[in-house]
Amino acid sequence: MRTQVRELLALYEQMVLVRRTEKAAHDLFLSGLVKGTTHLAAGHEAIAVGASAALRDDDYVFATYRGHHHALARGATPQECLAELMSRATGLCRAKGGSMHLTKAATGMLGSYAIVGAHLPMAVGAAWSARLRGTGQVAVAFFGDGATNIGAFHEALNLAAVWKLPVLFVCENNLYMEYTPIADVTAVARPAADRASAYGIPGEVVDGNDVVLVREAVFRLAERARTGDGPALLEAETYRHFGHSRADPATYRPAEEVERWLGRDPLDIARGRLTELGVPAGTLADADERARDVVQRAVDAAKAAPGPDPREALTDVWADGGAEWRT
């Protein structure tokens, strides 16, 4: 899959939109309009945007609590996401999900999950369902480096490999699991890719800050899975611009490391590629401005939206009555 200038420009604009939505979420949190916690994905944009551009519209995506970028890349609007973060009736999940549970089943965004590693077996299940139905869909699970030391990661990989399921595991390796460097607690250098050989599946490393490289790698591995060659593991190297969540100042990260990674901002890398391809600065500025307008309108609309109707508290909530028979 070669990325054309026109496509790259669209990917750039989408990444700017994600970055601006994240910035708005941060500002709204600081002004007390977003309650609870948020895990910003600023710095990770190229992974969600590049991967989504390589997938079919009906493919399935599973994300973590750091999933704003995936929801936006898979069809949720900034307005739906920000309204959800602000617990408004117009939110993506009508205020029942919040930042950590952004879900849009209609566009294949099958959820964001707060329990580290929990969604990997779910992605395997979705892939199995696609196989049984013969739809040609692929399921993609995005997760952090910390998930690679969780049992569910290994169970999911093994079953997916044994059944040769159409699932792609994408690790967003940002070097930290909350405040602990992944390298301090992992015996291999590549926490995801180096584990692939144990399950007999391909393991690759990609520059997760380069949207073009992510798109090409995901396309190749997803098509391989789609045509029956089974799962693969892609480790995308990246870095978060903010702390782990909310007001974490991330002082545990060496200044020199932060500076090096800020110098590899995915937006700058895409901008550099576009400039090299002859796209004028004015065209990039127009894209920036369009994204700024969309997000500003989203913030205004979310602020103006009503809170959820208390009479809807029990709608769209599934219960199997288990509380009675389990006790």
Using CB under 6 A, list all residues that contact ligand TPP: 66, 114-116, 144-147, 172, 174, 176-178, 244
Mask: binding to Mg ion, 172-211, rule CB under 5 A, as x and -? --x--x----------------------------------
For ligand TPP, give the closer residue by CB, 121 or 146. 146
Q: How far apart are CA 157 and CA 229, in angstroms?
A: 14
CA geometry: angle 26, 28, 29, nearest 5 deg? 65
For Mg ion, give the closer residue by CB, 87 or 245. 245
For the CB of residue 2, give the shortest distance to ligand TPP in the complex, in Å.
Answer: 30
Are 49 and 119 spatial neighbours (Cβ–Cβ below 8 Å)?
A: no
Mask: binding to Mg ion, 13-42, rule CB under 5 A, as x and -? ------------------------------
- Output phi, psi for 318, to 5 deg: -90, 135
Which residue is listed with tokens 């989504």? Answer: 52
For ligand TPP, give the closer residue by CB, 52 or 186. 186
| Of residues 48, 67, 45, 22, the one with CA closest to residue 170 | 48
For the CB of residue 188, give the shortest distance to Mg ion in the complex, in Å.
Answer: 16
Mask: binding to Mg ion, 131-160, rule CB under 5 A, as x and -? -------------xx---------------
Ramachandran bin of 304, using left for φ above 0, alpha for ψ from -120 to 50, beta for the remaining angles: alpha
For Mg ion, give the closer residue by CB, 79 or 174. 174
For ligand TPP, give the closer residue by CB, 75 or 181. 181
Pairing of strands 176-177, 167-173: unpaired
| Of residues 133, 185, 139, 180, the one with CA closest to residue 159 | 139
For the CB of residue 39, give the shortest distance to ligand TPP in the complex, in Å.
Answer: 6
| Of residues 135, 108, 134, the one with CA closest to residue 52 | 108
For ligand TPP, give the closer residue by CB, 229 or 248. 248
Q: How far is CA 262 from the centre of its chain?
A: 19
User: Which of Mg ion, ligand TPP, none has residue 47 at its interface (CB below 5 to 8 Å by kind)?
Assistant: none
Structure tokens at 85: 């973060």
User: Which of ligand TPP, Mg ion, none has residue 68 at its interface (CB below 5 to 8 Å by kind)?
Assistant: none
For Mg ion, give the closer residue by CB, 59 or 235. 235
For the CB of residue 181, give the shortest distance to ligand TPP in the complex, in Å.
Answer: 10
For the CB of residue 117, give the shortest distance to ligand TPP in the complex, in Å.
Answer: 6
Q: How far apart are CA 24 and CA 99, in angstroms?
A: 13
Q: Which residue is nearest to Mg ion (CB)?
A: 144
Pairing of strands 180-181, 176-177: antiparallel
Q: How far apart are CA 181 and CA 175, in angstroms?
A: 6
Are 46 and 15 spatial neighbours (Cβ–Cβ below 8 Å)?
A: yes
Q: Which residues bind Mg ion (CB under 5 A)?
A: 144-145, 174, 177
